[in-house]
Structure 1
Amino acid sequence: MRLSASIVALALLSGLALGGVLSITTGPMALSMYQSLLVPFDHVFGWELAQLQDYQRAVIMEMRVPRTLLSILTGALLAQCGVVMQGLFRNPLADPGIIGVSSGAAVGAVFAITLAPVAWIEWSTPVGAFLAGLATTLVVYSLARTRNGTSVTILLLAGVALAAFAGAAIGLMSYFASDQDLRSLSLWQMGSLTSSSDIGRWLGLAALVMTAVQFQRRALALNAMLLGESEARHLGINVERLKLELILMTAVAVGVAVANTGVIGFVGLVVPHIVRMLTGPDHRLLLPLSAVCGALMLLLADTLARVLVPPAEIPVGIITALIGAPFFLGLLIKQRSLGRL
């Protein structure tokens, strides 16, 4: 059943606002919702309304608020990239990892964690993840280039091959890593929002603004791609240029996301399907609504990860996998029943 886009947008934005409140006010430390919500306003305007101790204010402003912002930015990035990959390849099973950027970024981060000096870790990890993810994407795209254009089949197979190579490289580095580095690697590969930094959040915001604007400009071209590549060419779309642009922008966005949070799967796969079922396949609506839905999904997953086993927390990548894997299997079953697999 299709719903009005305005109704879906209102529901998602309301859910995102409530999810943000829940994220800021939820945690192992018992603080009232009223006091927790006052602290950001106290911080900005210099008020003293919350009447909390300094360490309590620090928990909210240095831990909860930053990871809430990072959840929103990362979820929106991954969801939009999932929409683009599924539309570009006309494949409902595609996600941002299809072009190898996630696995490549993971290798870059692992090398930074294990080889870079401790004083450089804060900036070397995101930089290494971003550069390695972008390089992997360029390699995959170069391999898929043929005289007749870009081969989707080769692109997929090259992505799988490089993902396997990346897994082997990560395993090799893990074998030689120290106990402390090994724990950092394990937690990073499971996805976590605990290591949010100002630089990472600003990079995430810049990547989100850039990709949101550029993806939206190409929404009509993505709609044309749903008809097929030859039909899109007849409509005046430069298909090869569109592929290159969208793949590179996806590499940048996912590279920044993985650099900030580690590998968080299934957001880019699940969210576009949910929004598509609600509003239809028009990318002019699908892209912005998926960004809001992705932000909401990751925000709720992170909140759930913090409250399931207090005072410890489960890596958010595990929560998204527990949600996304059954959805993925259901999607496979549905596609098989429709004769599309």
Structure 2
Amino acid sequence: MGFFFSMQNKLLLYLILSIILLIALAIGALFMGVYDFGGKSPIRVLQQIIAHDPNINLSEKYVLWDVRMARIVMAILVGSILAVSGTAMQGMFKNPLATPDLIGITAGATLMAAITIVLGSFFRHLLPDYLQFSLLSIAAFVGALITTILVYKMSTTQGKTNVIIMLLSGVAISALGFACTGFLIYLSKEEQLRDLTFWNLGSLGGATWVKNGILLVVMILSYSILITKGKALNAMMLGEKDAEHLGIPVEKIKKQIVVLVALMVGACVAFSGTIGFVGLIVPYILRLIFKSNYQIILPLSAVMGSILLLVADTFSRTVVAPSEIPIGVLTAFLGAPVFIAILIRYKNSM
């Protein structure tokens, strides 16, 4: 009992410190950008917005609230969702390489989004208005769900996951997805080509408060189930049979993880394109500190993912301002060395 309370206190302390760091970084990100507020502090402009000051400059309000603030919030939401998705997948597959982008889930979501962008005009008018508005998100979710189920079925036999088959199936699905996306790029018009380039490279430049609201709803619904699964994932690390003997509903939890990860990754791909390696970097770093205790790693990854993507996005939009580096390129630069390090550790442990 003492150990439990000790662990809970440690988790609470780490969460509080991480959230304080995230808030500090978010405030700092408000000051980063090329727009000149005429000597005023962005915090002062934000106070005017909150107070509904009638004397506020509309350009300043638009830049700070609808562009900069919306983008910061999207970075926080997407980073958190991708990190938790990767952590949950690694716990389910019992392998640090099982992330949505490495096993083809992101590629599946991107492909369905690409199909909707290029071919949506042929069938969009046949759908009700509410479906037309959310068609891209639904398509990305369906693509992520189908890919997740395929990878799981291909790599799992009698409750055991073959890591080699899992990675190879992810490579195969990603290759097929990129090939189909390439063909769609060949067929696309100029405006569609710009949209497809956005999805492939990843960007938070299209952030809006409506999109953030949808991401927030998806995150709350998913986290209400996933974040509490740390104890179950710890038990599953011992083996699914042992977990069942401990009273863990293994199959039910795996189905929940599959559906919720597909939902979260699909929503992220629909709004921010392909941003890889976040679900690999964050759990890897946390695992170095806390071993494989998912009761700590899972909730902490929700905050650390936000910190990682917020820093990456702030860097991407300021280092070559007024242009920006695609954030998917930055996360790939960060993630590739981590991926190599995991492979080396895995090789040395054999």
Using the size of structure 2 for normalisation, the TM-score is: 0.86
1:44 aligns with 2:58: no
Q: What is the match of residue 86 of structure 2? A: 82
Q: What is the match of residue 241 of structure 1? A: 252
1:232 aligns with 2:243: yes
Residue pairs, 1:316-335, within 5 angstroms: 316-335=327-346
Residue deviations 1:87-140, cap 9 Å, x none? 111111221235533111101111222223499997443332223222333444
Q: CA deviation at 1:32?
A: 7.6
- Counterpart-to-counterpart distance in 1, 2:322 and 2:84: 33
- Counterpart-to-counterpart distance in 2, 1:261 and 1:76: 13
Q: CA deviation at 1:296?
A: 0.5
Q: Give identity over the alignment, percent.
A: 34
- Counterpart-to-counterpart distance in 2, 1:88 and 1:57: 44
Residue deviations 1:186-210, cap 9 Å, x none? 2221110011233321221011112
Residue pairs, 1:1-341, within 5 angstroms: 4-31=10-37, 35-47=41-53, 53-98=57-102, 100-117=104-121, 123-143=134-154, 148-149=158-159, 151-152=161-162, 155-339=166-350
Are the equivalent residues in 2 in contact too, given 1:265–1:320 (CA < 8 A)?
A: yes
Long gaps (5+) in structure 1: none
Q: CA deviation at 1:4?
A: 4.5
Residue type of the alignment partner of 1:100? G
Residue type of the alignment partner of 1:79? A
Aligned to 2:184, what secondary structure does the other structure show? helix
- Counterpart-to-counterpart distance in 2, 1:56 and 1:70: 20
- Counterpart-to-counterpart distance in 2, 1:150 and 1:273: 22
Residue type of the alignment partner of 1:109? A
The change in CA–CA distance for 1:33 and 1:297 in structure 2 (over 3 A counts) is: farther
Residue type of the alignment partner of 2:261? T
Q: CA deviation at 1:34?
A: 6.1
Are the equivalent residues in 2 in contact too, given 1:219–1:283 (CA < 8 A)?
A: yes
Aligned length: 335
- Counterpart-to-counterpart distance in 2, 1:42 and 1:24: 15
Aligned to 1:114, what secondary structure does the other structure show? helix
Q: CA deviation at 1:335?
A: 2.3
Residue type of the alignment partner of 1:284? Q
- Counterpart-to-counterpart distance in 1, 2:48 and 2:265: 34
- Counterpart-to-counterpart distance in 2, 1:33 and 1:164: 50
Q: CA deviation at 1:141?
A: 4.1
RMSD of aligned C-alpha atoms?
2.7
Aligned to 1:329, what secondary structure does the other structure show? helix
Are the equivalent residues in 1 in contact too, given 2:318–2:324 (CA < 8 A)?
A: yes
- Counterpart-to-counterpart distance in 1, 2:315 and 2:191: 26
Long gaps (5+) in structure 2: 1-6, 126-131
Are the equivalent residues in 2 in contact too, given 1:96–1:102 (CA < 8 A)?
A: yes
- Counterpart-to-counterpart distance in 1, 2:218 and 2:324: 28
